[in-house]
Structure 1
Amino acid sequence: MIIFGSRGYVYQLAILTLVCGHCGNPSAHTLRKYVTKFTLFFIPLFPFSTKFATQCTFCGMEQRITKEQAEQLQAQAAGVQPQAQGYGQPQQQPGQQPYQH
């Protein structure tokens, strides 16, 4: 007798402060990764489904997002801004003092 099936896992990747598209409040949003794995004899072998979503902590609304959007949000949460899109601070030359207001 072979016992097989699937099991779901939820990973919290980051917590970001965003404006909710549903309630309009600036609040914390959790970035989550949902992975479904094929199991054989209760041992998870390989993932066959991966989904990403953000959830507003104020109203509870969950929105599915693409893998690329999730990677961008995760980089934003880590403080790394993608340079290809023109974000971030200009790089400072060695020995140069930062500009003070």
Structure 2
Amino acid sequence: MLILFGFKTAVKELFRRQAVCPNCGQHASQRVDERASKFTLFFIPLFTTRRRYLRTCAYCGVTAELSKSEKNALA
């Protein structure tokens, strides 16, 4: 019997907002993304195993990880 399983990462843009980048100090658009890793069985996603939030500066391109409370504060 053959069982196919694995993980899939789904990226979803949550929102964008104007803010000062902590890396370059420029007032630029900050994009906040959600990356969710999902366990799959026979290519069907069953449940989420990990959820991360990332902020990306449009000016310098630096990406930083956010906690859930930091993401809620930015929204």
Q: What's the TM-score once normalised by structure 2's chain length?
A: 0.95
Structure 2 matches for 1:49-64, cutoff 5 A? 49-64=50-65
Pairing 1:37–2:38 present: yes
Runs of 4+ more than 3 Å apart: none
Structure 2 matches for 1:4-83, cutoff 5 A? 4-74=5-75
Identity %: 32
Q: What's the TM-score once normalised by structure 1's chain length?
A: 0.71
Structure 1 unaligned blocks of 5 or more: 75-101
Instruction: Count how many residue pairs are aligned between Structure 1 and Structure 2.
Output: 74
Which structure shows the bigger proportion of residues in strand conformation?
Answer: 2
**CA–CA distance in structure 2, aligned partners of residues 72 and 58 of structure 1:** 21
Which structure carries more relative contact order (alpha carbon 8 Å, separation 6+)?
Answer: 2
Deviation at 1:70, TM superposition (A): 0.7
Local SS of the residue matching 1:59? coil
**CA–CA distance in structure 1, aligned partners of residues 54 and 19 of structure 2:** 13
